[in-house]
Amino acid sequence: MECALARSLVKILMSLLTFLAVSFCAATDGNAYWADFAGSTLDTTQWSVKYTSGIYPYQNNGLYLSAGGDSEIVSKSRFSSGVFTVEFQGYTSTNLQPEGSRQGAIAGIGIGGTNAQGITKYIRIERDQNGSNGQPVGYFEVNYFVTGMSDVQVRVIPTATSEGKLRMAWDGSTVVLSAFDSTHPELGWQTVFSRGLTFSGPVPVWLFDYDLYGTTSIKMNYLDYQPVPLPPALLLLGPALVSLVAVRRKFKK
């Protein structure tokens, strides 16, 4: 009786571990983007429009934002961790506000929001432009904000690129923000900033384009999402299967 029960438990555990492995592999399949921006209109089952200035219908499989103002869409899904990557191209800006004026043009991806206590916290990575002596000055920039503090520019890397990728890798306690310049692929992924980051619950991701002192345009080709970290159950998959095989052999003897 005990042997039969043990064999049944072994089969259940093996099925569960197999299911976890298949589910994780399917979830991390890089062939399908979380948001591919195909079609002619915004997928309102996936996104909410927060600021409507300069959000254009999709063209050639891309989300077009053009701000003389504020354009922003917010995911309806909420996340507790993940790796979020947005690919962009066609970044242009007429903004030539002085560096340090806090009036530059920004476009990119952020995560965070306002909790039940009314506290807003977010972090974002963006392609930024200011001006110096009438000439454009560009950066990959990270901003971090919590209610009660000013919007802090925490780190920048100079760039003049009009196309590339922005990434946030967040494991639920630490976030690493990095950028890829497609015009200089030899640089690889450049880490712009990293810090501890926690929220009181799952939070949305948002894409934005903001410029009050010029016109800034960008095309976002896709947003990719991958779960992180690797589920602990899957990390134990190999050892667990080996142990289960050993147990089954024992019962067969």
Give dist(CA 167, CA 152) in Å, integer. Answer: 19
The stretch 166-176 carries a mean pLDDT of 96
- Which domains, ranges and CATH numbers included, belong to the chain? 29-226 (2.60.120.200)
Residue 155 and residue 140 in contact, taking contact as beta carbons nearer than 8 Å: no
**Residues pairing with 169 in the sheet:** 83, 176
pLDDT tens sequence across 97-154: 988 788 889 999 999 988 777 778 999 999 999 999 889 999 999 999 988 776 576 7
Give the pLDDT of residue 4: 54
For CA atoms 43, 46, 48, 49, give the dihedral sign: negative
pLDDT tens sequence across 62-93: 888 887 778 889 999 999 999 999 999 999 99
